[in-house]
A = this chain, B = another copy of it.
Amino acid sequence: MFESAELGHKISKAVYTKELPVLREALLDTQLELIKAASFPVIILLGGVDGAGRGETVNLLNEWMDPRHIETHGMGDPTEEEQQRPEMWRFWQALPPKGKIGMFLGSWYTAPILDRVKGKIKSEAFDHSMENIARFEKMLTDEGALVLKFWMHLSKAKQEVRLKTLEKSTKTRWRVSSRDWAHFKLYDKFRKVSERAISQTSTAESPWIIVEGEDPHYRSLTVGKVILEALRKRIAENNVDAKHKTHVAPLLPAIDNLHILQRLNLNLKIEKKKYEALLEKYQGKLNLLMRHPQLKDVSVVIVFEGNDAAGKGGSIRRVTQALDARYYQVIPVASPTEEERAQPFLWRFWRRLPRRGRVTIFDRSWYGRVLVERVEGFCSSYDWMRAYGEINDFEEQLIDSNTILFKFWLSISNEEQLRRFEERQNTGFKRFKITDEDWRNRKKWSEYEQAVCDMVDRTSNTHAPWTLVEANDKYYARIKILKTLCERLEAQLGE
Contact = CB atoms under 8 A, between A and B. Distances in A.
A124 interface: yes
B139 A344 contact: yes
A207 to B, nearest CB: 15
Interface stretch (A260-268, A393-401, A431-439, A457-465): A393-401
A345 B145 CA distance: 12
Residue of A88, A95, A350, A403 with highest tally of chain B CB at under 10 A = A350
B398 A86 contact: yes
Nearest to A353: B85
Interface in A103-159: 122, 124-125, 127-128, 131-132, 135-136, 139-140, 142-143, 145
A89 interface: yes
Nearest to A142: B386
Nearest to A345: B143
A38 interface: yes
A347 B85 contact: no
Nearest to A140: B344
A174 B301 CA distance: 45
A92 B243 CA distance: 27
B97 A339 contact: yes
A93 interface: yes
A342 B92 contact: no
Given A97-B343, A98-B342, A128-B128, A397 B88 contact: yes
A351 B93 contact: yes
Nearest to A348: B92
Interface in A79-97: 81, 84-89, 92-93, 95, 97
A38 B342 contact: yes
Contacts of A343: 41, 95, 97-98
Contacts of A93: 350-351
A95 B351 CA distance: 11
A52 B383 CA distance: 39
Contacts of A145: 344
Contacts of A398: 86
Interface string A341-365: 1111111001101011000000000
Contacts of A401: 85-87
Given A97-B343, A383-B142, A390-B139, A86 B244 contact: no
A124 B128 contact: yes
A243 to B, nearest CB: 4
A353 B400 contact: no
A99 B343 CA distance: 10
A87 to B, nearest CB: 7
A382 interface: yes
A312 to B, nearest CB: 25
A63 interface: no
Contacts of A132: 393
Contacts of A142: 383, 386
Given A132-B393, A145-B344, 4 more contacts: A84-B355, A88-B350, A99-B342, A135-B389
11 contacts: A89-B353, A92-B347, A97-B339, A98-B341, A127-B128, A128-B128, A132-B393, A135-B389, A139-B346, A139-B390, A142-B383
Interface of A: 38, 41, 81, 84-89, 92-93, 95, 97-99, 122, 124-125, 127-128, 131-132, 135-136, 139-140, 142-143, 145, 241, 243-244, 299, 339, 341-347, 350-351, 353, 355-356, 382-383, 386, 389-390, 393, 397-398, 400-401, 403
Q: Which 7 A-B pairs have the closest CB atoms?
A: A97-B342, A84-B355, A92-B350, A86-B401, A143-B344, A98-B342, A124-B124
